[in-house]
A and B are shown apart, each in its own frame.
Chain A
């Protein structure tokens, strides 16, 4: 991985965890769904793919909640979605 690509992955991990910290206070299932749907609603497919791939490779640096949400996202990704609902 080039230096720039590594830096940008690091940023994505940071961002995903940061979003997770907002949802962490909610009930567990709600928090996972909230975080996953946030990524789906606001992240580009390329950004999501990168983080999913990173999880596949072990997900170093991802908080436990973030890991769960990214896993959930991976499952949902293949299905058609309409993320017009609330976060």
Chain B
């Protein structure tokens, strides 16, 4: 294997469709208007020396190394800042240029440590390379003059160091932080010779505004900003492109390796979702893959109170298979089921639903998308005919009005947030509907036009009020609606939303949002040009989650904001493969491509292929399984990659369900919380150790590539295959690509997708088939998948979870940038530097009433349970609302959340729980008991350890 090399063109590509022809060193070249001379030269393979330019950021023109001569023009202009012109004749190498460049280089090197041999970036340093390129042989000034060689290193960031002694003040880092990331954390402090790069107000990086995205590290041409892993290991010798396993943005990375050791992850510029950018998780937080807590040997036990016993893989498979069969024989065909995770690859998820349908003989398969985006499936499926975001991420470049509903992109979907911020800095307008003042409401150079801080649980009321304004003020795009939607349904809907009880004035009372703000936001959304909706779990995780998704679809249809670039309705998916998990038939009522199990033709096709009969009735959802377990009729489960005990609501109920089962098989990297109740533990593999595909939030299918052998012995898909075989279900795949081939053969939207296709084009967005051979960036262009767009009435129904005298506050939950979901991975990386514990955000007013100070331990209680954590007093949350994350198992935020859920999909109502907060002196009894029990249940039998 070799290194995946990427060309640095020096300056970004021009988007112009006009071209210009010029001559560079005697060769003619045609490039888009607005291209720099530097980039035009690189297009024909001529590398002009450069230091301050790189193609991720705009040219700056400070280093003066890239000078060229242009016939008919005086002087030696910088090629990075000079655009091409028709007929221009450029020379990149002349006697004058050679001397000038050597002179420039000499100055740089005279203030640079000459420790190349022991420098971390030796062999991969642009300063070193350019010194060689310009033929520097001598430094006439000597090295004794004023210099910065004794400047102190900043090692505060856990992942990279800043060594100012090596800085050439090229400003690339500063511009990357501004232009690529949009955080504006870096500045130049001082002037002239004294100028130094500084994070914040000369703070250490860790204490500054820096979010550790690493864009500056990637941009730095020297060893000034460099990954600690590179310092530790050295330069990589081969690399391969793979996809981040954290969030639904789906950033593509070059994983740079030395042997089987990962040296660093570098975002891939050709990655269509991330264009060479990443966040702290994808770039840096992969240390969990080698964390000591990782379990590498299969284990079994008869009772959950027994210590674990390590066994061979064969024994584990045989035991799991015989137990699942025994349970089924005793309690019936429907007494077992399986759960897949949005962390699994498409291939793994497909196999699990196949194992359940073909092997268990029922439809009891569900995915953790149940607890996040199942309402998206229902809502968008009903309105448009398919359950997916309508746009690609790049569509935002054409957006004039961004409306964010119940999402916090800078924390949840950071790389897309950077893209969005770029568009907002260019002048796009912004509407935010969220109970919290999320960062985007006000961040450097971005400010929301309207923030509607609605009371948790009132989304439907507010969105219907927006529709009210659009209809009653005549802002409907009637031509679009008549052509593309069912006109009768529209009229019924228009009549409904126009009713006075749906007016902003009426809704202001329940939602707490001033009527005028609703009116202004509606007008901007309807009249501001291309308007695009981006929404997150703040929409779906409510008792009216599905209704809210329908309300968003209604708004987009009524204003004609669908079917072209710049518009649409876009779910921001939480985990990396939420989209794929849903597509692959892991819901209990659906086969792949969202086809209902009662569809005879589809069932027959799978039945023929698999040689079994498939149940035509829907199976159980996760909450149904748990209810049935408590009931005594559901007794065995196979769970891959999902920690339902920590991530699902009402922990007491989940624990009771799991405890009532006779065979719980958990496949995961770590002994997660659910594994406390498991009888079989199958150690899983990381995304670095397996092949497959993930599908991101824009339906983009991308490759996950195996970079090292699985430390546990098998890739996850192989484990499912072996378990299936042990149960007598024939599965014979030689590699993951064959699973994808079966998916393509059975799933119309995937018909054109294979490993070969992805190797060739990098990634594609489904549907990819004969009709759309290169995939589909924007959906519903001429007509909706279901034909006519469907308007559905969205009556606001207040949640039954109401605050009252006993529980006067509303708790809403969320996540933060540096951690991922239940935190099982990120907690096992240096990311804990940013978020060592979950905190309860509370408004100063509510804190004062309770006599709380910042950092105090507080008891958070609801009718479901209580837990303790520390308070963070902030005006980010409105009075009456408190907020926390659920990244740490000790907090057990879900002990408090209730079992209320979305009416259509049972997606839990994480976003609204009535709670009380009071000062506390320590952990609750449940927390204490739980801690003791987890310690107890994580014991691994001594005898085996001794034998090692």
Contact = CB atoms under 8 A, between A and B. Distances in A.
Interface of A: 4-5, 7-8, 11, 15, 18-19, 21-22, 24-26, 38, 41-47, 81-84, 86-87
Contact of A82 (B378, B598, B630): B598
B6 interface: no
B93 interface: no
Interface stretch (B12-20, B433-441, B613-621, B728-736): B613-621
A83 B596 contact: yes
A45 B632 contact: no
B796 to A, nearest CB: 10
27 contacts: A4-B630, A7-B630, A8-B630, A8-B631, A15-B903, A18-B903, A19-B903, A19-B904, A21-B903, A22-B546, A22-B795, A22-B797, A24-B795, A25-B496, A25-B793, A26-B793, A44-B334, A44-B588, A44-B617, A45-B617, A46-B633, A82-B598, A82-B600, A83-B596, A84-B595, A84-B596, A87-B904
B632 A38 contact: no
A87 B624 contact: no
B547 A22 contact: yes
B631 A4 contact: yes
Interface of A is mostly: helix
Identify the interface centre among A8, A24, A42, A82: most chain B CB within 10 Å of its CB. A42
Given A21-B795, A25-B795, A41 B596 contact: yes
Given A42-B589, A44-B619, A84-B598, 11 more contacts: A8-B630, A11-B627, A21-B795, A44-B620, A46-B633, A81-B598, A82-B596, A82-B598, A82-B599, A87-B382, A87-B904
A84 to B, nearest CB: 5
A13 to B, nearest CB: 13
A24 B496 CA distance: 13
A22 B631 CA distance: 28
A86 B382 contact: yes
Given A42-B618, A82-B599, A8 B334 contact: no
Nearest to A31: B793
B880 to A, nearest CB: 25
A46 to B, nearest CB: 7
Nearest to B615: A45
A18 B496 CA distance: 20
Contacts of A42: 589, 618, 621, 904-905
A4 B599 contact: no
B795 A18 contact: no
* Residue from the set B600, B618, B620, B631 with the largest chain A CB neighbour count within 10 Å: B618
B542 interface: no
Contacts of B588: 44
Interface in B287-319: none
A51 to B, nearest CB: 13
A84 B624 CA distance: 22
A41 to B, nearest CB: 6
A19 B599 CA distance: 23
Interface of B: 334, 378, 382, 496, 543-544, 546-547, 588-589, 595-596, 598-600, 617-621, 624, 627-628, 630-633, 786, 790, 793, 795, 797, 899, 903-906
B797 A21 contact: yes
Residues of B contacting A: mostly: loop
A46 B334 contact: yes
A8 B547 CA distance: 25
A46 B362 CA distance: 13
B596 A22 contact: no
Nearest to A86: B382
A82 B589 CA distance: 12
Contacts of B544: 22
B595 A18 contact: no
The 3 closest A-B pairs by CB, nearest first: A25-B795, A18-B903, A84-B596
Contacts of B600: 82
A41 B589 contact: yes
Contacts of B905: 42
A84 B940 CA distance: 48
B764 to A, nearest CB: 27
A87 to B, nearest CB: 6
Contacts of A18: 543, 903
Contacts of B621: 42
A61 to B, nearest CB: 14
A62 to B, nearest CB: 15
A57 B596 CA distance: 31
A26 B797 CA distance: 14
A79 B527 CA distance: 50
A87 B596 CA distance: 12
A84 B793 CA distance: 21
A46 B543 CA distance: 23
A81 B547 CA distance: 26
B748 to A, nearest CB: 14
Nearest to A17: B903
Contact of B903 (A22, A45, A82): A22
A74 to B, nearest CB: 15
A21 B672 CA distance: 38
B12 to A, nearest CB: 46
A87 B378 CA distance: 9
Contact of B624 (A25, A41, A47): A47
Contacts of A43: 618
A59 to B, nearest CB: 19
A17 B589 CA distance: 21
A18 B800 CA distance: 10
Contacts of A81: 598
Contacts of A45: 617
A69 B847 CA distance: 48
Contacts of A84: 595-596, 598-599
B632 A4 contact: yes
A38 B906 CA distance: 13
Name, among A4, A24, A44, A84, the residue most crowded by chain B CB atoms within 10 Å (CB to CB).
A44
A86 B899 CA distance: 27
B543 A44 contact: no
Nearest to A9: B631
Nearest to A26: B793
B632 A41 contact: no
A11 B620 CA distance: 15
